[in-house]
């Protein structure tokens, strides 16, 4: 994300590259008639973590090929039936790492954990899974693969979708998948170029669909309902700032100035979008409902981001991160705008799933 992007949007995109947002399955959970179990995924002190109703549990961190990961992250969560799936990645202390997912807390390798050749970038991952979707017996992950060195060939292999562990490249080097969704047997994924120029797009069954807008734009999330395809993301503007943008069926549907859009969900006739908006020079976590922003609780004068939004009955949930005055990050859950700190620094919350209690 280079060329004409301002310093602020570069920081936003670097942060959003850590996300995930990610993301989708046909079961997003939530039933207004029953209490809900709330699952959240992210990391605490660089260790993949899942929270259930506010209680944190480290995810299994053992490398199936031997040893343990020096750091790991859980990037997205979905459910199918009674099974919980979480995408993530791990980094080995000796270099290299891999993408994988957990099913009910047990790790399933997607890409072999292979050490790097040479020591120019020890600890850099070989593969990264940022999003997950489940349809029937099929598990889809979206992310990217890398080669050798951050400075020589990062993202060289580019965007990857794994279906039941088998990778399929999308033919765009130096790129990554940011979200994935499955609807009526069609596989949708948003992506972006790592090195500009960026132009927002998504894939449908591997075919790229370009979205209108500024050259410097990034698609972050996709939601399919019926015949409608919604995409949200970030676009640069003439003043070297950035705007949040929502496309519906390939047409710009809504723009929020000086904002970033990270995820979205459609509930009934309502469209909810999560992200952040600049207020007096500070990024403030926000959720937009049908274009109207509600700012989420956070300490004054610090940056905050809402990475995912979910709706259950009349309740609106968001998860993200609040950065304190020393730039330490704290994973945060918002329910109807009220914040709950999930863990002290350093922690991140990337995704949320709401399940009906049996």
Ranking 25-29, 272-276, 297-301 by mean pLDDT, the lowest is: 25-29
pLDDT digits (tens, 9 = 90+) for 194-219: 665 677 889 999 999 988 876 678 89
Rounded Cα–Cα distance for residues 115 and 99 (Å): 13
Give domain status of residue 1, yes or no: no
Mean pLDDT, residues 92-96: 69
Q: Where do the DSSP E strands lie in 55-200?
A: 55-58, 69-80, 83-92, 97-103, 106-109, 127-135, 138-145, 158-163, 166-169, 175-183, 186-193
Number of folded domains that form the chain: 1
Rounded Cα–Cα distance for residues 168 and 161 (Å): 5
Give domain status of residue 347, yes or no: yes
Residue 263 has pLDDT above 70, yes or no: yes
Mean pLDDT, residues 123-148: 82
- Express the helix, strand and coil content of the chain in percent, nearest 5 each: 5, 60, 35
Render 186-243 in DSSP notation, one character per residue.
EEEEEEEESSS----EEEETTEEEE--S-SSEEEEEEEEETTEEEEEEEEE-TTS-EE
Residue 14 has pLDDT above 50, yes or no: no
pLDDT band at 117 (very low <50, low <70, confident <90, very high): very low
Rounded Cα–Cα distance for residues 268 and 164 (Å): 32
Give domain status of residue 352, yes or no: yes
Give domain status of residue 334, yes or no: yes
Residue 123 has pLDDT above 60, yes or no: no
pLDDT band at 34 (very low <50, low <70, confident <90, very high): low
Rounded Cα–Cα distance for residues 207 and 191 (Å): 12
The residue with greater pLDDT, 158 or 124, is 158
Give domain status of residue 2, yes or no: no
Residue 7 has pLDDT above 90, yes or no: no
Give domain status of residue 32, yes or no: yes
Ranking 54-58, 210-214, 350-354 by mean pLDDT, the lowest is: 210-214
Residue 253 has pLDDT above 70, yes or no: yes
Domain holding 329, by residue range, is: 7-356
The residue with greater pLDDT, 49 or 36, is 49
Give domain status of residue 314, yes or no: yes
pLDDT digits (tens, 9 = 90+) for 327-339: 689 999 999 999 9
Mean pLDDT, residues 243-261: 94
pLDDT band at 99 (very low <50, low <70, confident <90, very high): confident
Q: Which DSSP state fits 27?
A: B
pLDDT > 70: percent of the chain = 75
CATH number at residue 243: 2.130.10
Rounded Cα–Cα distance for residues 302 and 170 (Å): 38
User: What's the pLDDT score for residue 107?
Assistant: 84
At 148, list the tokens: 């050798």
Mean pLDDT, residues 136-144: 91
Residue 83 has pLDDT above 90, yes or no: yes
Alpha carbon separation from 10 to 17, 178, 195, 210, 235 (Å, rounded):
10, 16, 11, 22, 12
This prediction has a pTM of 0.86
Calculate the average pLDDT of the chain: 81
User: What's the pLDDT score for residue 315?
Assistant: 95
pLDDT band at 27 (very low <50, low <70, confident <90, very high): very low
Mean pLDDT, residues 160-179: 84
Give domain status of residue 154, yes or no: yes
User: What's the pLDDT score for residue 344?
Assistant: 83
How does strand 201-204 pair with strand 315-323?
Answer: unpaired
pLDDT band at 36 (very low <50, low <70, confident <90, very high): confident
User: What's the pLDDT score for residue 10?
Assistant: 34
Alpha carbon separation from 101 to 67, 145, 258 (Å, rounded):
17, 15, 35
Rounded Cα–Cα distance for residues 198 and 215 (Å): 6
User: What's the pLDDT score for residue 124?
Assistant: 53
pLDDT band at 274 (very low <50, low <70, confident <90, very high): very high
The residue with greater pLDDT, 41 or 97, is 41
Contact 101, 132 (CB under 8 A): yes
Phi-psi region of 219 (alpha: psi -120 to 50; beta: other; left: phi over 0): beta
Residue 59 has pLDDT above 60, yes or no: yes
């Amino acid at each position: 994300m280079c060329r004409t992007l301002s310093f602020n949007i570069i920081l936003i995109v670097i942060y959003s590259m850590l996300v995930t947002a990610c993301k989708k399955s046909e079961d997003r959970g939530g039933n207004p008639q029953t209490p809900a179990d709330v699952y959240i995924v992210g990391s605490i002190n660089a260790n993949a973590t899942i929270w259930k109703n506010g209680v944190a549990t480290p995810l299994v961190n053992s490398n199936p090929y031997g040893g343990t990961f020096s750091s790991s992250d859980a990037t997205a969560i979905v459910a199918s039936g009674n099974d919980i799936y979480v995408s993530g990645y791990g980094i080995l202390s000796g270099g290299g790492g891999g993408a994988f997912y957990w099913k009910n807390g047990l790790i399933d390798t997607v890409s072999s954990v292979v050490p790097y050749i040479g020591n120019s970038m020890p600890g850099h991952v070989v593969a990264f899974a940022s999003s997950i979707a489940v349809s029937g017996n099929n598990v889809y992950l979206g992310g990217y693969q890398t080669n050798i060195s951050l400075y020589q060939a990062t993202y060289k292999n580019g965007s990857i979708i794994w279906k039941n562990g088998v990778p399929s490249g999308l033919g765009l080097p130096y790129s990554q998948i940011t979200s994935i969704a499955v609807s009526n047997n069609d596989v949708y994924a948003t992506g972006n170029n790592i090195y500009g120029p960026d132009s927002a797009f998504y894939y449908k069954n591997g075919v790229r669909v370009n979205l209108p807008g500024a050259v410097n734009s990034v698609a972050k999330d996709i939601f399919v309902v019926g015949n409608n395809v919604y995409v949200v993301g970030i676009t640069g503007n003439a003043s070297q700032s950035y705007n949040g943008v929502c496309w519906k069926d390939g047409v710009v549907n809504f723009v929020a100035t000086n904002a970033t859009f990270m995820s979205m969900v459609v509930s009934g006739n309502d469209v909810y979008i999560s992200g952040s908006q600049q207020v007096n020079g500070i990024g403030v976590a926000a959720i937009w409902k049908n274009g109207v922003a509600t700012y989420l609780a956070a300490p004054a004068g610090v940056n905050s981001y809402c990475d995912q939004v979910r709706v259950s009955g009349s309740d609106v949930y968001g998860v993200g991160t609040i950065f304190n005055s020393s730039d330490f990050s704290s994973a945060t859950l918002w329910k109807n705008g009220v914040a709950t700190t999930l863990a002290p620094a350093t922690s991140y919350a990337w995704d949320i799933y709401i399940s009906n209690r049996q």
